[in-house]
Amino acid sequence: MPELPEVETVARYLRETVVGETISAVVIADSRFADLEEAHELVGRRVVRVGRRGKYLSLELDDDWVLQLHMMMAGQILVRPKGHAEDRFLRLHFDLSGDIEVRFCDSRRFGRAHQLEAGAYREFLKSLGPEPLANSFTTRRLLEALASRKVALKSALLNQQLIAGVGNIYADEASWRARLHPLTPAGSLSDAEAGRLHRGIRQVLRDGIASRGTTFSQYRSAEGEKGEYQSQLRVFQRTGEKCFRCPGTIQRIVVGGRSTHFCPRCQPVSRVDGS
């Protein structure tokens, strides 16, 4: 699933290419994919800003409409010149004045496109947890988000109402950096442990963005290129391989229905209640 680094990579390219352009057409190739009942309202509107909140992309338009895009599991948002060869699994595309198209492709149809008015968009922004790369996201803010939570740390990190944008890959990588077992009760972290986790989250997200995301199968940047962070992963999908930090061997368990990877030697069981 595209997570914060992948979505931010796409957002940065969109900011370079579509801001200032005007939407000339919206074509819904799969009616089950897009909630755009008033799509005609978007035509003629200029893109004034490309935003990202957690794993969501938004094209903010000059009439206070917002076109919100979520790639979910297998979505791809691609910028193509008009007349470019057709991309597979095209579900939605919109034409822009600069002779370019933004195409939303998705082999699994889990991705979504929504049309929001300004008020609904502001309410949506409030519904998500803090942005982990924002200056306001401090160790104290992390501790407050996790306070009194008995669920496993891995599950808490995936909760978008607690922290926006962290998904399966980067949760495992951050926990490894913090030397924390993924089943540690989220609300039990000490100040020192929370400090390590805070640094781990921010570092893996920054490294992921610098490498233009992680590609195992379907993720592509808006230019259609694979990410490169997979070569830097320390635990995710490395089951049975040696730990980069100690003599341990990476193990896989399932936490909250999600594959979870860790080193049992340098992320030892501590205070684990299995919840």
Is 59 in contact with 50 (CB distance < 8 Å)? yes
- Verify that 149 and 234 share a domain, yes or no: yes
Is 138 in contact with 130 (CB distance < 8 Å)? no
Active site residue 109: no
Looking up residue 90, the CATH number of its domain turns out to be 3.20.190.10
Domain membership of residue 210 (yes or no) is: yes
- Is residue 206 scored above 90 in pLDDT? yes
Looking up residue 224, the CATH number of its domain turns out to be 1.10.8.50
- Verify that 190 and 148 share a domain, yes or no: yes
Domain extent, residue 17, equals 4-127
- If one compares 199 and 116, the residue with the highest pLDDT of the two is 199
- Is residue 78 scored above 70 in pLDDT? yes
- Verify that 167 and 57 share a domain, yes or no: no
Q: In terms of Cα–Cα distance, which of 274, 125, 138 is closest to 201?
A: 138
- Verify that 243 and 148 share a domain, yes or no: yes
- Verify that 102 and 152 share a domain, yes or no: no
Active site residue 3: yes
Give 173: exposed, middle or buried? Use CB within 10 Å, 0-12, 13-18, 19+: buried
Domain membership of residue 110 (yes or no) is: yes
Number of domains within the chain: 2
Domain membership of residue 133 (yes or no) is: no
pLDDT of residue 76: 95
- Is residue 34 scored above 80 in pLDDT? no
Active site residue 2: yes
pLDDT of residue 48: 97
The two structure tokens encoding residue 132:
């982990």
Per-chain mean pLDDT for the chain = 93
- Verify that 208 and 105 share a domain, yes or no: no
Per the DSSP assignment, residues forming a β-bridge with 159 are: none
Q: In terms of Cα–Cα distance, which of 105, 99, 94 is closest to 82?
A: 99
- Lowest-pLDDT range of 7-11, 36-40, 258-262: 36-40
- Verify that 182 and 152 share a domain, yes or no: yes
- Is residue 274 scored above 50 in pLDDT? no
- Verify that 75 and 145 share a domain, yes or no: no
**pLDDT mean over 126-147:** 97
Q: Which residue in the list 52, 53, 55, 220 is annotated as catalytic?
A: 55
- Lowest-pLDDT range of 2-11, 60-69, 200-209, 246-255: 60-69
- Is residue 73 scored above 90 in pLDDT? no
Domain membership of residue 273 (yes or no) is: no
Domain membership of residue 253 (yes or no) is: yes
- Is residue 70 scored above 70 in pLDDT? yes
pLDDT of residue 275: 40
CA distances from 256 to 151, 163, 222 (A): 9, 17, 31
Active site residue 82: no
pLDDT of residue 109: 86
Q: Which residue in the list 12, 199, 202, 258 is annotated as catalytic?
A: 258
Burial readout 71-85 (b: 16 or more C-beta within 10 A, e: otherwise): beebbbbbbbeeeee
- Verify that 121 and 26 share a domain, yes or no: yes
